[in-house]
Amino acid sequence: MTAAPRTRIKICGLTREADVDAAVEAGADAVGFVLYAKSPRAVTAERAAQLAARLPPFVTPVLLFVNGGALEVIASLARVKGSIAQFHGEETPEQCEEATGPDRFRYMRAARIPLGAAGAGFDLVKYASDYSHAQAILLDAHVEGYGGGGKAFDWSLLPPAVDAHLVLSGGLTPANVSDGIRILRTRCKTLSVDVSSGVEIDGPGNKGLKDAGKIRQFVAAVRAADASFSS
């Protein structure tokens, strides 16, 4: 019997101490802070540093940027110790490299996949090659704004083989994350998952406010999916 593969989990869009603690307690591998002022989940670099200071060893803080300047990105990453960048705007490979550098900080690059049948036209293989210095390519739905829309693209339309570490995002919930893992796990080097809106408190005005119970359910669903791959 082979060991079950382990899907890494990131809980994104955190704004409160209690939610950071809930993510850690549930077993998240990474937590995300949105450093994009137009997002309802936005925090400052100073606030992200305060929240990240609560993290135990081996839980990684991730800072999400949207078309930020290189100096801003570098300063924010330096402020939040141990963090990596997630570029979620229109950043070119050259801009990502400028803002992190080969000897500075690691980064992930978000790929915004069109909804519906149009998703088949997104060349993920080329995209991953263009951003070959990224630690991973994060897959999100192309919606108005930049992420956090709670929309899922058609996972089945992605290429059968991508030479990259992938992070599945966009519209994930405790109810559907196992399907995403099943569809995509064998199509890439490794697969991780990233959830934000799918673990938030129900109701308008609650973006950035997480539900500890939903976080636990999400992590449990991922672990159950992992276990189903053992043989």
Give me the active site residues, please.
12, 140
- State the CB neighbour count (10 A cutoff) for residue 29: 18
Closest CA to 163 of 206, 203, 214, 125: 125
Q: What is the dihedral of CA 104, 100, 111, 93, to 10 degrees?
A: -120
Complete DSSP assignment for 56-99: PTT-EEEEEESS--HHHHHHHHHHSTT-EEEE-SS--HHHHHHH
Radius of gyration in angstroms for the set of CA atoms belonging to the chain, rounded to a whole number: 16
Pairing of strands 107-113, 191-195: unpaired
∠3-4-10 over CA atoms, to 5°? 135
Q: Which token pair is 170?
A: 């966009």
Given a contact cutoff of 8 angstroms between Cβ atoms, the answer to whether 193 and 168 are in contact is yes
